[in-house]
């Protein structure tokens, strides 16, 4: 049975840097508050005209180049986002069109911060069962256009950034290498703990002046609830993955956690007993880019030489839904 290999990774973040100090011009907040509570120092926000599909295209081209493949080698696209360019169709088809991949299937995944791990789970199953051999997996997000940047929305507005990350996954025959397992979960009892209520197909029209006046089109979050579940579910998902592969935490060489909040990642690191050098954090520079955090962090870690052949890589995510999941990869 073929194994899923990460043949190339890539990322794109917008040029515009928004510092914590910049945010103090928009809302009542401070650099100290944001750094102390979240670890974030700056994030990237798009300029008008940029689209999710275009950021996805740029990240994908970098990943294809690293893989040494032309776009025409791609058999299928899996794209994770909670901020599609339009309500429908999904952003995957716009990426497919931009890459000139007529006829190639494009599947959008809606699993929020866990989107990349969910997408990896689907792509890995397709590759192992032989349905596709080369899959482009992308996580992309434009959060900045949907944030309440007034003081009322400051709890969420300071957290999020824009960006895209991509991986080219190929079928490999070396049993000692590739994705070992993926484990994904959800608990819809907490769907409203982190959500955006409008626009909604439950209503006609789907968004009204009332919705906008009440701010229902902005994301809302019960921050403490999310924090509490994230620091429990992420270590749990890693232990589940390790147990399924007869491995222990001491076998992990590198952990790439979803970048929700530096405090969450530090607590996960502590609970797993990992050293700083074993955990990738880049939230200081990018904030939380939702489905894009893991592929951006992974692409950067690879470029910094933090992974070598044979290493055990762990990916773990938690997000709105709630959804969560993990993956283990023998590099
Ligand atoms: N600047 C200044 N003050 C703020 C800000 C801000 N940006 N945001 C909130 N405050 C104020 C609040 O109004 C409150 O003031 P009050 O005490 O006068 O009422 C005070 O700071 C404390 O607010 P809390 O919400 O209790 O702050 P908390 O310590 O819980 O930290 C935070 C908030 C950072 C959001 C935290 O709950 C958290 O990290 N939650 C995890 C959620 C997360 O990371 N989500 C990311 C998206 S989901 C995902 O990717 C998993």
The DSSP code sequence of 36-71 is HHH---EEE-PPTT--HHHHHHHHHHHHHHHHT--G
Q: Ligand 1 centroid vs 245 CA: distance in angstroms?
A: 37
Instruction: Report the domain count for the chain.
Output: 2
- Which structural domain, as residue segments, surrounds residue 206? 178-330
Distance 228 CA to ligand 1 centre (A): 13
Q: Quick one: tokens of 202?
A: 């439950």
> Rounded to whole angstroms, how far apart are CA atoms 23 and 154?
9
Domain endpoint, select from 138, 172, 206: 172
For ligand 1, atom 12: residue with the closest CA = 155
Residue among 198, 192, 182 nearest 78 (CA): 182
Q: Within this chain, do residues 149 and 240 fall inside the same structural domain, yes or no?
A: no
Query: Any residues with CB less than 8 A from the CB of 260 and at least 6 apart, and which?
Result: 113, 159, 226, 230, 283, 288, 293, 318, 319
Q: 131, 150, 172: which is the final residue of a domain?
A: 172
DSSP letter string, 214-273: HTTTS-EE-HHHHHHHHHHHHHHHHHHHHHHTT--GGG-SEEEE--S-HHHHHHHHHHHT
The verdict on 155 and 186 lying in the same domain is no
> Which of 20, 113, 229, 261 is flagged as catalytic?
113
Residue whose Cα lies nearest atom 47 of ligand 1: it is 260
Averaged pLDDT, 33-41: 98
Q: What are phi and psi of 180, to 5 degrees?
A: -85, -40
What CATH number corresponds to the domain at position 41? Answer: 3.40.47.10
pLDDT digits (tens, 9 = 90+) for 211-268: 999 999 999 999 999 999 999 999 999 999 999 999 999 999 999 999 999 999 999 9
Domain end, chosen from 172, 207, 224, is at 172
Check whether residue 254 and residue 133 sit in a common domain.
Answer: no
Express each pLDDT in 139-184 by its tens digit: 999 999 999 999 999 999 999 999 999 999 999 998 889 999 999 9
| Average pLDDT of the chain to the nearest whole number | 98
209 sits in which H/E element: helix 209-214
Strands 312-319 and 163-172, bridge-based pairing:
unpaired
- Residue 161 near residue 46, CB atoms below 8 Å: no
**Which residues, listed in sequence order, are joined to residue 327 by a DSSP beta bridge?**
182, 315
Segment 44-101, tens digit of pLDDT: 999 999 999 999 999 999 999 999 999 999 999 999 999 999 999 999 999 999 999 9
Cα(190) to ligand 1 centroid in Å equals 18
pLDDT the model gives residue 175: 81
List of residues 6+ apart from 269 with CB closer than 8 A: 255, 257, 276, 278, 279
CA distances from 316 to 34, 232, 327 (A): 24, 12, 7
239 is catalytic: no
Query: Of ligand 1's atoms, which has the minimum distance to the CA of residue 156?
Result: 35
Q: Look at residues 285, 271, 207 and name the one whose alpha carbon lies nearest to residue 239.
A: 271
Q: Give the per-residue pLDDT at 176.
A: 87
Ligand 1 pocket (Cβ < 6 Å) reads: 29, 33-34, 37-38, 113, 154-155, 158-159, 194, 221, 223-224, 226-227, 230, 260-261, 264, 288, 318-319
Judgement on whether residues 68 and 142 belong to the same structural domain of the protein = yes
SS3 184: strand
245 is catalytic: no
- Tokens representing residue 170 in the block: 């190929």
Tell me, in angstroms, the distance from the centre of ligand 1 to residue 155's CA.
5
- Percent of the chain whose predicted confidence (pLDDT) is above 90: 99
Nearest residue (by CA) to ligand 1, atom 23, is 155
User: Cα of 92 to ligand 1 centre, how many Å?
Assistant: 33
Name the 3-class secondary structure at 274: coil
Q: Are 56 and 113 found together in one domain?
A: yes
**Residue among 313, 258, 325 at smallest CA distance from 286:** 258
Whether residue 129 sits in one domain with residue 154: yes
**Is residue 129 annotated as part of the catalytic site, yes or no?**
no
168 shares its domain with 188: no
């Amino acid at each position: 049975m073929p194994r899923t290999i990460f043949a190339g990774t890539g990322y794109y973040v917008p040029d515009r840097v928004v510092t914590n100090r910049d945010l103090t011009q928009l809302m009542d907040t401070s650099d100290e508050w944001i750094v102390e509570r979240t670890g974030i120092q700056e994030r990237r926000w798009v300029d008008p005209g940029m689209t999710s599909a275009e950021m996805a295209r740029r990240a994908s081209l970098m990943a294809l180049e690293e893989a040494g493949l032309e776009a025409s080698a791609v058999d299928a696209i899996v794209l994770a986002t909670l901020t599609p360019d339009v309500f429908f169709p999904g952003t995957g088809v716009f990426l497919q069109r931009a890459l000139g991949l007529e006829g190639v299937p494009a599947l959008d995944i809606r699993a929020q911060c866990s989107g990349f791990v969910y997408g990896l789970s689907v792509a890995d199953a397709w590759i192992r069962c032989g349905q596709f051999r080369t899959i482009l997996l992308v996580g992309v997000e434009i959060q900045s256009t949907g944030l309440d940047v007034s003081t009322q929305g400051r709890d969420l507005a300071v957290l999020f950034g824009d960006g895209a990350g991509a991986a080219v996954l190929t079928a490999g025959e070396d049993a000692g290498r590739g994705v070992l397992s993926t484990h994904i979960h959800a608990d819809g009892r907490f769907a409203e703990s982190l959500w955006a209520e409008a626009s909604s197909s439950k209503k006609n029209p789907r968004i009204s002046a009332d919705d906008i006046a009440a701010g229902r089109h902005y994301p809302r979050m019960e921050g403490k609830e999310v924090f509490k579940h994230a620091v429990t579910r992420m270590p749990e998902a890693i232990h589940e993955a390790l147990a399924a592969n007869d491995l222990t935490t001491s076998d992990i060489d590198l952990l790439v956690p979803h970048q929700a909040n530096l405090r969450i990642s530090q607590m996960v690191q502590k609970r797993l007993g990992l050293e700083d050098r074993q955990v990738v954090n880049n939230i200081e520079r990018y904030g939380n880019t939702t489905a894009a955090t893991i592929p951006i962090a992974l692409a950067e870690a690879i470029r910094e030489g933090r992974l070598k052949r044979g290493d055990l890589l762990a990916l773990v995510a938690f997000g709105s839904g709630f959804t969560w999941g993990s993956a283990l990869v023998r590099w």
